[in-house]
Structures are given as structure tokens and as C-alpha cells.
Amino acid sequence: MSTITVQGMKCQHCAAGTRKALEEIEGISDVRVNLETGEISFEGDAPMEIIKAAVAAKGYTVVE
């Protein structure tokens, strides 16, 4: 399982939108969002540029 840290998610609506955006990426599954830590965990392998773009499209930033 891979994990990224996302800045800016504050509520369940934020989490749901970001989770859905990542689930739409081919090869990504089992997306789990932890609002307390700002982390998103997922199974699969996709280019990080695509993951970052999906997160950015929802208005958030992947923290490096």
C-alpha cells in the first residue's frame, strides 16, 4: 500500500471528493483517506504526476 500526504483536506466532503478522484485513476484501488493525518493510502501503481494532478484538480496539494 502506498501513502501520500495531502494538504488542505478538512472535512468528509473533501475526503470523499479526493477519494473518488483517485479511484478513477486506472490501476488505483482501495483508497483510504485519513483526515486527522492528511494521508491517503491506496493500492496500485500509477505515475505520481497523474496522482498529483487528480489531487490538484480537487483543490489540494500533495506534500513531498
Which pLDDT value is given to residue 12? 93
**Average pLDDT value for residue range 30-55:** 95
Asked if residue 64 has pLDDT above 90, the reply is no
Q: What average pLDDT score do residues 49-59 get?
A: 95
pLDDT at 57: 96
**Residues 48, 35: Cα–Cα separation, whole Å:** 21
Q: What is the pLDDT of residue 11?
A: 92
Between the alpha carbon of residue 63 and those of residues 6, 26, the distances in Å are 6, 22
> Residue 35: how many CB atoms within 10 A of its CB?
13
- Read off the C-alpha cell for 59: 483543490
pLDDT tens per residue across span 9-42: 999 999 999 999 999 999 999 999 999 999 999 9
With beta carbons less than 8 A apart as the criterion, state whether 18 and 6 touch: yes
Q: Domains of the chain, with CATH numbers?
A: 2-63 (3.30.70.100)
What's the rounded Cα separation, in Å, for the pair 55 and 49?
A: 10
